Amino acid sequence: MTVHEFCVIASGLDPTADDFESRFYEAGCDDATISFQRGHVIADFSREATSVEEAVASAIAGVTAAGARVERIEPDSLVSLSDIAARSGLTRAAITQYAKAQRGKAFPVPVAKVTSDSPLWDWAAVAAWLFRHDRLSPEALTAAEVVKRANDILGVGGTPTLDTLRQSRSVLEPAA
């Protein structure tokens, strides 16, 4: 078993209710720190599970069982060059060179630009590129894909399950 760390961002519960925290504990979220910030419930998990898919799916089920509505999973999938460096363990200079095509080819293009000087990349796309170039572990790639898949499902009003999250392993599994 491995410990997987991530946050579930949720809403729909009154943080001043006497049973606010105990609801999560009773729903199986005893491995999460529960807080309320900027109108959102933050469940910061350190969940032991055999896979990241199992950890995320069971955390979503627990938060839902506590009566909250899951909005998204973090860490956020939009990342800056500094975020990419921190998540990959590479230097900011190396990531900048990849992004500018000074080192390696076909680095993913930014998906959003906050300003012309602050582009943001899709972490799952960058993680796949780094994995293909032997710069990221398979576990880190899987975690990036699972969080992206979970957030995609949540974004259309669905509920991610273990089966739907297992579909995230496409890059790592051989073609049929």
Indicate yes or no: pTM above 0.75. yes
User: What does the block give as tokens for 49?
Assistant: 């599970």
What is the C-alpha separation between 7 and 75, in angstroms, rounded?
Answer: 7
**How many Å separate Cα 5 from the centre of its chain?**
9
Beta strands in the chain (DSSP E): 2-11, 32-37, 40-49, 69-74, 78-79, 112-113, 119-122
- Mean pLDDT (the chain) is 92
Cross-strand bridge partners of residue 47:
4
Q: How many Cα atoms occupy the beta-carbon half-sphere of 58 within 13 Å?
A: 18
The two tokens of residue 168 are 């995230």
Q: Considering the chain, what percentage of its residues have pLDDT values greater than 90?
A: 86
The model's pLDDT over 45-102, given as tens digits with 9 standing for 90+, comes to 999 999 999 999 999 999 999 999 999 999 988 999 999 999 999 999 999 999 999 9
Whether residue 30 is predicted with pLDDT greater than 80 in this model: the reply is: yes
Is the pLDDT score of 170 beyond 60? no
Domain boundaries, the chain: 2-74+139-171, 78-136
d(CA 89, CA 91): 7
Q: Which helix (H) or strand (E) holds 79?
A: strand 78-79
Residues 6+ apart with CB under 8 A from 102: none
DSSP secondary structure code for residue 50 in this structure: S
63: Cβ–Cβ under 8 A, 6 or more apart, which residues? Answer: 8, 10, 24, 27, 29, 41, 43, 70
CA–CA distance, 151 with 162 (Å, rounded to integer): 14
For the domain spanning 2-74+139-171, the CATH number is: 3.30.70
pLDDT tens figures, 3-26? 999 999 999 999 999 999 999 999
Domain 78-136 maps to which CATH number in 3.10.20, 3.30.360, 1.10.287, 1.10.1660? 1.10.1660
